[in-house]
């Protein structure tokens, strides 16, 4: 399964994007700022 990282400070937007990708079979990681996004990308 492909994994996608979504980073944005607007939580509603992140959740809509996450739901859309998950509906199409992707695993989605989310972050609400760049620091957390970089941290998630290095751990996964």
* pTM confidence score: 0.88
Q: Provide the pLDDT for residue 39.
A: 96
Nearest of 36, 34, 25, 26 to residue 4 by alpha carbon: 26
If you average pLDDT over residues 21-43, what whole number do you get?
97
Collapse the DSSP code of 36 into the 3-class scheme (helix H, G, I; strand E, B; otherwise coil) and give the result.
Answer: helix
Q: Provide the pLDDT for residue 44.
A: 83
| Under 8 Å between Cβ of 31 and 15 | no
Q: What ranges do the domains of the chain cover?
A: 3-43
Per-residue exposure over 23-34, b if at least 16 CB sit within 10 Å of its own CB, e if not:
eeeeebbbbeee
| Under 8 Å between Cβ of 8 and 2 | no
Q: Is pLDDT at 1 greater than 90 in this prediction?
A: no
């Amino acid at each position: 399964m492909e994994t996608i990282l979504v980073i944005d400070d607007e939580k509603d937007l992140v959740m809509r994007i996450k739901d859309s990708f998950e509906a199409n079979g992707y695993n989605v990681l989310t972050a609400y700022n760049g620091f957390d996004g970089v941290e998630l990308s290095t751990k996964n």
